[in-house]
Amino acid sequence: MTKIVGVMASERIVAGLVEGNQVMGPVRVYPEPGSSSEGLYGVPAEEIGELVRRQIELVTGGAAVEAVGIGFAGIIRDGRIEESPNLQQTKGFYLQGALGNAFQRVLVLNDADAMAAGIAATHGKLESLVRVWTLGDGVGYGRYPQAEGVWEGGHIVVTLDPKDKFCGCGGVGHLEGIVGHAAMRRRFLDMEPDEVFAEAKAGDARCASFVRLWHRALAAATATSIHLDGAGKFYLTGPNARFVDVERLNVDLHDMVRMSPLQGSLFEVVPTSDEIAIIGAAVSADRARFSL
């Protein structure tokens, strides 16, 4: 059975050996749980490349593998990190090239795309279109199968309000500027996101208004994807997927998608893990390995 290594690198590095769409053996994590390290924030790009290489070698024990798939946060093209808002020091870093001497076949892809591939693999959907919103500190948009393009769905413009400047990239009116955890903290300087949603349920008008905006923003970005890529199932994952009211989201989406051939999309909140992301990175590398 083909052995592939899957890696996810965002605020930390996780790596595992994958066979038959399953993680085999222990998952390696850097920094190790309980460490006081701030992870990859501020770590020079070349050092991140070396840390990734080291985790792969620890997973394989030095044995040869067919390919390595690496999900990395940011805009990735041809193995190069063109932009990474959360790890700005990696901008322009050719990660695939940095690892090319150590491993025969390396695929670097966006981390949200890796998550979409992992969900496809673990849900028996490898022959279907799978789209994923990852709701966390920022907002990731993953698509499987991969397609040419940037696919930074978290930066879809969902409002024309010039005052909506809460997105970490500095752009105005972005989905991430409303739905992202960091953006919510910037918007509500006196409250944490959990408190905002709790107060909305308790009847606070300001918080309830924002929760309506939060859901409509996510519905608007989803409607944009549907109008470009067609109807289908959208998976919702990440730590802030717990805030989603699926019924409300469906109503908002129905208001925004009215053409009958585009109706029928569904939302599903799914728990995910490092293992699913690792599987997705590995599956993507496995499917691409004959053209690498």
What is the average per-residue pLDDT within 71-79?
Answer: 91
Q: How far is CA 2 from CA 68, 111, 239, 292, in A?
A: 12, 22, 32, 16
CATH of domain 127-269: 3.30.420.40
Q: Which of 84-93, 148-157, 209-218, 269-278 has the highest mean pLDDT?
A: 209-218
Task: Express as a percent the part of the chain with pLDDT over 90.
Answer: 76
Where are the CATH 3.30.420.40 domain residues in the chain? 4-120+273-288, 127-269
pLDDT value of residue 290: 53
Q: For residue 275, what pLDDT band results from cuts at 50, 70 and 90?
A: very high
**pLDDT, averaged across the chain:** 92
Q: Under CATH, what is the fold of the domain 4-120+273-288? A: Nucleotidyltransferase; domain 5 (3.30.420)
What is the average per-residue pLDDT within 31-45?
Answer: 84
Please say if the pLDDT value at position 289 is more than 70.
no
* Sign of the torsion angle spanned by Cα atoms 178, 194, 118, 10: positive
Please say if the pLDDT value at position 229 is more than 80.
yes
What is the average per-residue pLDDT within 274-278?
Answer: 92
Give the C-alpha separation, 146 to 288, whole Å: 10
What is the average per-residue pLDDT within 209-223?
Answer: 98
Q: For residue 292, what pLDDT band results from cuts at 50, 70 and 90?
A: very low
Please say if the pLDDT value at position 124 is more than 70.
yes
Please say if the pLDDT value at position 10 is more than 50.
yes
| CA end-to-end span of the chain | 20
pLDDT value of residue 1: 60
Please say if the pLDDT value at position 287 is more than 90.
no
Distance of CA 161 to the CA centre of its chain: 26
Q: For residue 291, what pLDDT band results from cuts at 50, 70 and 90?
A: low
What is the average per-residue pLDDT within 49-64?
Answer: 91
pLDDT value of residue 283: 94
